[in-house]
Amino acid sequence: MTKTHLGHRARKRFGQNFLHDTFVIDAIVDAINPQNDEQLVEIGPGLAALTEPVCDRIEQLTVVELDRDLADRLEQHPFMQQKLTVYRGDALKTDFHQFQKDEQKLRVFGNLPYNISTPIIFHLLDQIDAIGDMHFMLQKEVVDRLAAQPGTKAYGRLTVAVQQACAVEPVLLVPPGAFTPPPKVESAVVRLTPYSEPPHPVHDFKTLQKLCLVAFNQRRKTIRNNLKKHIDAEQLEALGINPNDRPETLSVEDFCRLANWYYEQHGAL
């Protein structure tokens, strides 16, 4: 059941769970540590739980909000009006480069709508050149996947894509009671910092992503089986990968080596 919060009825379809716990809000804003000479962009400001305390510290903030009622409220907000640029739209379809000034990298943050948090992360990875860092509230399970080590259940294609591009630091665990209405799951805040020089560079990030999609398609199968249309067992061995291993045992470096071999042989996947 949706409950009202500050006179607004939470909309499930927009993944609305509003933060109200001031300890959690302060901890997130401290983790972001916004500064005046930086360009910050918030995804899904909602009822301004994070927006307000961030605006207390800086002069300019861009927010991307899909819910028109909430965007209206933000535009009419008495204290923040001067500081906020409200962009009405779907974060999934937004080109974040447009928010850059003088090519300065963006600091992106938000308590993301959980129903689309993984697609939003992939969408931002596609425009990583515009991003300095990201702080997101996510389902704890998603943060576990972002930070996972090879050989664990949480390790998968999201892990490989994000860890190739970013350093991942879980920051804070957040219980359901910190939100109105409370979500059914535990939450966590994570900091993602894109590498200026990735430790395992790839020729083509899309090829890496597509290869991982195929490799993890059936986790119980061997890597040889999952990738048989793209690479044979002998070649896997030549690349230092045991063809009989399961996909989750391969390191990020292994996947990058595979993707680079594929790209050099066949071009983009």
Q: Which residue's beta carbon is nearest to the bound ligand SAM?
A: 44
The whole-angstrom separation of Cα 83 and Cα 51 is 10
**Which 61-120 positions form the footprint of ligand SAM (CB under 6 A)?**
64-67, 70, 90-92, 111, 113, 116
Establish if 40 lies at the interface with ligand SAM (CB under 6 A): no
What values do phi and psi take at 122, rounded to 5? -60, -40
Establish if 150 lies at the interface with ligand SAM (CB under 6 A): no
Inter-CA distances, 266 with 175, 231, 269, Å: 47, 11, 8
Q: State yes or no: 244 annotated in a binding site.
A: no
Q: State yes or no: 111 annotated in a binding site.
A: yes
Q: Count the site residues for ligand SAM by CB under 6 A.
A: 24
Q: State yes or no: 90 annotated in a binding site.
A: yes
Q: Where are the beta strands (DSSP E) in 53-115?
A: 61-65, 84-88, 106-111
The whole-angstrom separation of Cα 179 and Cα 195 is 32
CB of 48 to ligand SAM, least distance (A): 7
Establish if 18 lies at the interface with ligand SAM (CB under 6 A): yes
The whole-angstrom separation of Cα 254 and Cα 269 is 17
217, 226 Cβ separation under 8 angstroms: yes
Establish if 260 lies at the interface with ligand SAM (CB under 6 A): no
Place of tokens 């640029």: 85
Establish if 162 lies at the interface with ligand SAM (CB under 6 A): no
Judged by the rule CB under 6 A, the positions of this chain that interact with ligand SAM are: 14-19, 43-47, 49-50, 64-67, 70, 90-92, 111, 113, 116
Annotated binding site for S-adenosyl-L-methionine, which residues?
17, 19, 44, 65, 90, 111
Annotated binding site, which residues?
17, 19, 44, 65, 90, 111
